[in-house]
A and B are shown apart, each in its own frame.
Chain A
Amino acid sequence: MSKRIRVLAAKPGLDGHDRGIKVVCAGLKDAGMEVIYTGLRQTPEAIVAAAMQEDVDVIALSTLSGAHNQHLPRVAQLLREKDAAHILLVAGGIVPPKDRVALREKGVKEIFGPGTTMTEIAEFIRNNVSLS
């Protein structure tokens, strides 16, 4: 029997738009994953600490306020500093194509834009997660 994938979903920064992340949480649960949602206004430090404590396989961040370049690379950097770079880091929201390229280079594995289905996100996670 395979281990259930554990996901930490979080909203970094001050953005309050959480329809998307909550829908994704429900979708990933229906896809058989365990999902912990931190709620709004999380700092990168708090997100990484929660991820370590909960021993998750995936961090899923949602950002729609335009502050992605501030928060996403910081989460990736903290994961490396804590020897936790095996945790799959993905994000969703309004992120311009140019920024997506830069964020991938900085350690965000994938950024899902508007119109992405829950099925696509679950499939991506399954194909890319490394279970500890």
Chain B
Amino acid sequence: MDQNKIKVEKARWAQSDPGLAKLSPRHTDWGDPVESLYTPADVQEQDYLEQLGFPGEHPFARGVYPSMYLGRPWTVRQYSGYDSPKDTNARFRYLLEQGQTGLSVAFDLPTQIGYDSDHPMSAGEVGKVGVPVDTLEDMEVIFEGLPLDKLSTSMTINAPSAIMLAMYVSIGKKQGLEPKVLRGTLQNDVLKEYTVRGTYIFPPKPSIRLVTDIFAYCSNNAPRFNTINVAGYHMREAGCSAVQEIAFAFSNAIAYIEAGLEAGLDIDKFAPRISWIFNTNNKIFEEVAKYRAARRIWAEMLRDRFGAKDPRSCMLRFHTQTSGASLTAQQPLNNVVRVAYQTLAAVLAGAQSIAACSYDEALSLPTEESVRTSLRTQQILREETGVTDTIDPMGGSYYLEALTNQLYARIKELMAEVQEMGGAVEAIEKGFVQKEIERRAYDIQKEVELGEQVVVGVNKYAIEEDEQEVLVESNPQAEQDQIQRLQALKSRRSQDKVDGALAALKQNAQGDGALMPVIIAAVEAYASLGEICGVLREVFGEYQPVRTI
């Protein structure tokens, strides 16, 4: 095909209709112009075998597995956990009965920040945004009757990841299971806590030590556990663009990989267990292109920069959640539609695991009906729409391929900028990442207020509506009950054992001994999360945030 002839013909066509010439410019989420029409001339430079290849083969742009959904559908993994360990156990049983295939635990804020439920800072927060876990006993209740060898469990926990992994391993033991059969994922991505998510505890250096300690423990003992779930999701929720989401998340991952290599680990021993959580937002084509470009960049970087030989090290396997920030409190049923389109984009992009938000999330904890609707959204896509009948079904669209190439270039540019600053930790300590995200969040808000960016039901097609009264409320007794459980446990356990285990932990933390074995011993002595984090706070110190405002 003569590419020049196509360009000439396109120019002629563009003049053929007066309406086309008058169009106001449209832009991608990251600010590049969008053409009115894409043709083969826009992808003429693309080398199919080099840049896209085949699913399951380098550079994995079209998917990480050879058969993709034809072999196995994505994992349906809704995020849940609230009030108390017992209620959480009941919700998990319900979700599994309804056909969910993986669990995802939401922890409350005190747990995520390493405070026990009876700590003064925990007042009012216990059981609010997830389940409280003070000791191994709480995890025993959460997983009661759930055989861990039949499940995969994702845990949204970062700074105290090592403690939660230790508890999971201990429950496995009580069920007669060796760590090597356990499957699951820790979020364990502390760097994004400094920039957007806010549940940091320790400064970057010891935090990254904990991360590499988990890499080392799992590669020897629990090889089926995903040791880290590097997150673009929260940065996107905080306002960044699709380009920034991938570039900042990849920059954070580079910092973890470099630390792992420095600790003497073999890249192919830990890189295959790095997993991801990204945000699937409203712009369907851009989102699909984002994941295709990201898979290629990751594969090339792992092979060429870090010398990975195992193809699994180069595979960008990701979980995605639809965007909570795109949902509106106004006309909440509209959110069902937003979630469905975003979930469609995730499926078209070849996600390994998907959480679809609930339509009432902007109001309160989701109801059983709204959670079921999210689950059904995924099941309808999987079983009724035919979008899984062939792999990477949008591949070959001129527009999609042009976007994929453009994102590939833009993401690499921004990654290079971060590397020039000295890497992710330096970029965060300088406040660069935070300021970039803050600036864009402010720009979006201004655009929404000026009506330049439409939010249906909010700045366009708004109606008078009664405020919805909240249907699900957290149990006001939950906090007191949890504190009583903790105190009862503390009076039952052997204090000598706890003291001994905490002393051993302190010794290893002060030196450079492995941390996972001593944390497992502390957990099994029923030392609390707050006590274990307390020892680490004493040795490691606490992170002091960078001021950007």
Q: Is the pair B363, A25 in contact by a Cβ cutoff of 8 Å? A: no
Q: Check if A22 is an interface residue, CB within 8 A of chain B.
A: yes
User: Is B263's beta carbon under 8 Å from chain A?
Assistant: no
Beta-carbon contact of B362 and A19 below 8 Å: no
Q: How far is the CA of A114 from the CA of B362 in the complex (A)?
A: 8
Within 8 A of B (CB), among A14-60: 14-19, 22-23, 25-27, 35, 37, 39-41, 43
The listed residue (B121, B363, B545, B548) touching A14 by CB distance below 8 A is B121
Tell whether, in the assembled complex, residue A41 and residue B328 are in contact, meaning their CB atoms are under 8 Å apart: no
Q: What's the nearest-Cβ distance from chain B to residue A72, in Å?
A: 10
Dominant secondary structure of chain A at its interface with chain B: loop
Asked if A39 contacts B545 (CB within 8 A), the reply is yes
Q: Give Cα distance in the complex from A13 to B120, angstroms.
A: 10
Q: Which of A14, A22, A25, A119 contacts B109 (CB 8 A)?
A: A14
Contacting residue for A70 out of B115, B124, B196, B467, CB 8 A: B124
The answer to whether A23 touches B113, judged by C-beta atoms less than 8 angstroms apart, is no
- Docked-complex contact A65 and B445, CB < 8 angstroms: no
B404 CB-CB contact with A under 8 Å: no
Contact status B469-A98, CB under 8 Å: yes
CB distance from B323 to the nearest CB of A (A): 12
Contact across chains for B123 and A96 when beta carbons are under 8 A apart? no
Q: Which residues of A contact B129 (CB under 8 A)?
A: 65-66
In the assembled complex, which residues on chain A have CB atoms less than 8 Å from the CB atom of B364? 94, 96
Complex: A119 Cα to B459 Cα, angstroms: 14
Count of B residues near A, CB < 8 Å?
44
Q: Is the CB of B445 within 8 A of A97?
A: no
Do A16 and B197 form a contact, CB below 8 Å, given A27-B442, A115-B458?
yes
Does chain B have a CB within 8 A of A118? yes
Question: How far does the alpha carbon of A19 sit from the alpha carbon of B444 in the complex, in Å?
Answer: 11
Is A130's beta carbon under 8 Å from chain B?
A: no
Asked if residues B442 and A40 are in contact (CB atoms below 8 Å), the reply is no
Q: Of the candidates A19, A94, A119, which one forms a contact with B363 in the assembled complex, judged by CB atoms under 8 Å apart? A: A94
Interfacial residues of chain B within 289-344, with CB under 8 A of chain A in the complex:
325, 328-330
Q: Is B470 an interface residue (CB 8 A)?
A: yes
Chain B residues 105-163 with CB under 8 Å of chain A are 109-110, 112-113, 115, 121-125, 128-129
Q: Which chain A residue shows the least CB distance to B126? A: A67
Asked if B198 is an interface residue, CB under 8 A from chain A, the answer is yes
- CB atoms of B198 and A115 under 8 A apart: no
B238 within 8 Å of A (CB atoms):
yes
Residue pair A43, B121 in contact (C-beta under 8 Å) = yes
Residue pair A17, B445 in contact (C-beta under 8 Å) = no
State whether the Cβ of A104 lies closer than 8 Å to any Cβ in chain B: no
Contact B469 A22 (CB under 8 A): no
Q: Are A16 and B469 in contact (CB under 8 A)?
A: no
Q: Is B426 positioned at the interface, with any CB of A under 8 Å from its CB?
A: no
If A15-B198, A37-B549, A41-B121 touch, does A117 touch B470 (CB 8 Å cutoff)? no
Q: Are B549 and A25 in contact (CB under 8 A)?
A: yes
CA of A41 to CA of B112, assembled, Å? 13
Tell me the minimal C-beta distance from B31 to chain A in angstroms: 19
User: Is B438 close to A, CB under 8 A?
Assistant: yes
Q: Given contacts A27-B442, A65-B125, A114-B362, could you give 6 more A-B pairs where the C-beta distance is less than 8 Å? A: A35-B549, A39-B547, A97-B468, A114-B328, A114-B330, A119-B449
User: Which 4 A-B pairs have CB atoms at the shortest separation, nearest pair first?
Assistant: A16-B198, A70-B124, A67-B124, A14-B109
